[in-house]
Amino acid sequence: MIIIKLVSGAQMGQIDRYTIEELGIDGVVLMEQAGRRVTEEILAEYSALEKVVVLAGKGNNGGDGFIISRLLEQEGIAVQTFLVGNKDEITGDAWVNLEILERLDDQVTEVTTAADVENLPSDLKQADLIVDAMLGTGIKGKLRGLFPNIIDLVNEVNTEVTAVDIPSGVEADSGIVREMAVQAQQTVTFALPKLGLLLYPGAKFVGQLKVVDIGIPKQAIAQQEIETNLITADLATKLLPLRDDDSHKGNYGKLLLVAGSTGMTGAAVLTARASLKMGAGLVTVGIPSSVNPILETKLTEAMTYPLAETRDGSLDVGAIEQVEKLMSSRDVLAIGPGLTTTGEVTTVVNKLLTKIEEPVVVDADGLNVIDDLEILKEREAATILTPHPGEMSRLLEQPIKEIEVNRVAVAREFAVEYGVILVLKGSRTVIATPTGEVYINYSGNSALATGGSGDVLTGLITSLVGQDLAPVDASIIAVYLHGLAAEIGSEELTKYSLVPSDLIDYLPQAIKAIEN
């Protein structure tokens, strides 16, 4: 599948409602499929189950749990079902399934008091598997009642857990975990992945994620406007530009990278090398003149251009005209890595953002010195901003924490408001477009959490924009390959030892993996 849509809890609810009310597929039928699919995944994963504990909540997630209890019993497995709540509080489809279970004489034990909770640990410990069907997409606010205690117990025992739809305690819309959530080894989710399964901190609790079809028709999904997509390998493959044998360097873009300053030439080198390795035609690095000789020795294929500088070795306003001139024969500008924020850098960056008529990628110090966001709205060519949460926090004048718990919404609102492509970095990088489309990246690991990896990403994005890719497509491929190179590289070098220049060395393997 090339595009995988990601849904919020509310969107999934709408899809369910449409399926039931407009299409007339009974909710009990959907629930039966849901329970059956989870049971199949459990049986496929665990071949020798003897004892299973199903923990059910009072909503439809619990209803799925009752079905799983019934189906596992039918397989000859000893199942104990606990309902966190009173039986007489159960309604609708969940009630139908609770009744069936009771008619089959499969006991459902109510857990309603602290004393009941104290009795749970021995059963949890003795089980081969716990099925978490307590809370699904219907969770609201802080965990109430006995849930915090029960979730603690589940996480303390050594028994493996399969979560139904979403680990209890994780919010489907955001991945927010208010105080705790069930730590699952496997999560079987219905129809479409929920955002909260991919976004941190929720993602940590999911274990292996399986998305199963429960018979919701495509039409019900199409009827929802879903603007959040998962970046898949297939999507990266589809977008990767082909290279024609009958081509020359002019076909692959002329890049100008304005980067580096005294003490930070490495940033310029990483950006330039990454852009070349991604296939750029011609790369020029504009750098404060006194450090130009360093770049000349560190870079072989790229050209360098000494720019006017102040006494401290950072850009001087004289660089504005120089860059404008250079850009008259270049296709794309990247500005920011290693520039520093001192002296006249602010004026240089802000002026260039208003003057340059080609696409611009702004990163690092380039982002830190934007003093008026309104100038972004006035640009006609594409602008790609690649902040990490700290830079985003400065741009928006909002605490990092608020950005971290709201990555998708923050990125989307900013991209729409200012008409830019926003690449909000972090585990699960979020790319948002001026029309409000969002792409979430799944590749990558903690090896990327080190100074310099952002410079590599900037090089990749700029390179692909230079190769005439739409800015959003360039960002999608770059972010995906960047993460994939980290995954491949850290297999050999470990997540500790992989450094950004290694990322560039592993880029060819990442490209090979997605090349058709």
Ligand X SMILES: NC(=O)C1=CN([C@@H]2O[C@H](COP(=O)(O)OP(=O)(O)OC[C@H]3O[C@@H](n4cnc5c(N)ncnc54)[C@H](O)[C@@H]3O)[C@@H](O)[C@H]2O)[C@@H](O)CC1
Give the residue, chosen from 54, 55, 68, 135, that forms a contact with ligand X under the rule CB under 6 A: 135
Member of 72, 83, 124, 164 binding ligand X (CB under 6 A): 164
Nearer to ligand X, 164 or 485 (CB): 164
- Measured in residues, the chain has a length of 516
Q: Are 214 and 41 in contact (CB under 8 A)?
A: no
Residue 145 or 436: the one with the smaller Cβ distance to ligand X is: 145
Which residues lie across from 109 on neighbouring strands?
A: 82
Residue 125 annotated in ligand binding: no
Residue 182 binding ligand X, by CB under 6 A: no
Answer for the pair 352, 327: CB distance below 8 angstroms, yes or no: no
Among 103, 140, 248, 311, binds ligand X (CB under 6 A): 140
Distance CA 45, CA 51 (A): 15
> Contacts with ligand X in 61-120 (CB under 6 A)?
61-64
- Pick the stretch among 143-151, 355-363, 377-385, 386-394 that binds ligand X (CB under 6 A): 143-151
Strand order in the sheet with 254-258: 4-5, 228-231, 438-441, 430-432, 421-424, 383-385, 360-362, 332-335, 254-258, 282-288, 303-307
Rounded to an integer, what distance in angstroms lies between the CA atom of residue 250 and that of residue 237? Answer: 23
Structure token digits, residue 343: 């002296």
Question: Least distance (Å) from K ion to the CB of residue 161?
Answer: 10
Q: Is 136 in the site for ligand X (CB under 6 A)?
A: yes
**139 labelled binding-site residue:** yes
CA dihedral 317, 321, 322, 324 (to 10 degrees): 130
Q: Are strands 78-83 and 51-56 parallel, antiparallel or unpaired?
A: parallel
For the record, the structure tokens of 40 come out as 């199949």
Contact stretch for ligand X (CB under 6 A) within 28-36, 101-109, 347-355, 467-475: 28-36
Pull the structure tokens for residue 329.
Answer: 């024969």
Residue 64 binds which of K ion, ligand X, none (CB < 5-8 A, kind-dependent): ligand X
Q: What is the CA radius of gyration of the chain?
A: 27
Residue whose entry in the numeric block shows the structure tokens 């060819």: 508
Q: Are 315 and 308 a contacting pair, CB within 8 Å?
A: yes
79 vs 514, which CB is nearer to ligand X? 79
Choose from ligand X, K ion, none: what does 31 bind? Cβ within 5-8 Å by kind.
ligand X
Which residue among 66, 147, 414, 442 contacts ligand X (CB under 6 A)? Answer: 147
60 is in an annotated binding site: yes
Nearest CA among 476, 449, 450, 448 for reference residue 464: 476
30 binds ligand X, rule: CB under 6 A: yes
Annotation-wise, does 478 bind a ligand? no
- Answer for which of 7, 55, 59, 511 binds ligand X (CB under 6 A) is 59
31 binds ligand X (CB under 6 A): yes
Looking at 54, 67, 101, 164, which residue binds K ion (CB under 5 A)?
Answer: 164
Question: What would the two tokens of residue 152 be?
Answer: 């603690």
Enter the tokens of residue 228.
Answer: 């959040």
Q: Could you say which of 64, 73, 93, 132 contacts K ion (CB under 5 A)?
A: 132
Backbone angles phi, psi at 100, to 5 degrees: -60, -45
Q: Which is nearer to K ion, 163 or 485 (CB)?
A: 163
Which residues are at the interface with ligand X (CB under 6 A)?
Answer: 16, 20, 27, 30-31, 34, 57-64, 135-145, 147, 164-165, 190, 214
Binding site residue list: 60-64, 132, 136-142, 165, 168, 267, 338, 388, 425-429, 454-455
Binding site residue list for AMP: 425-429, 454
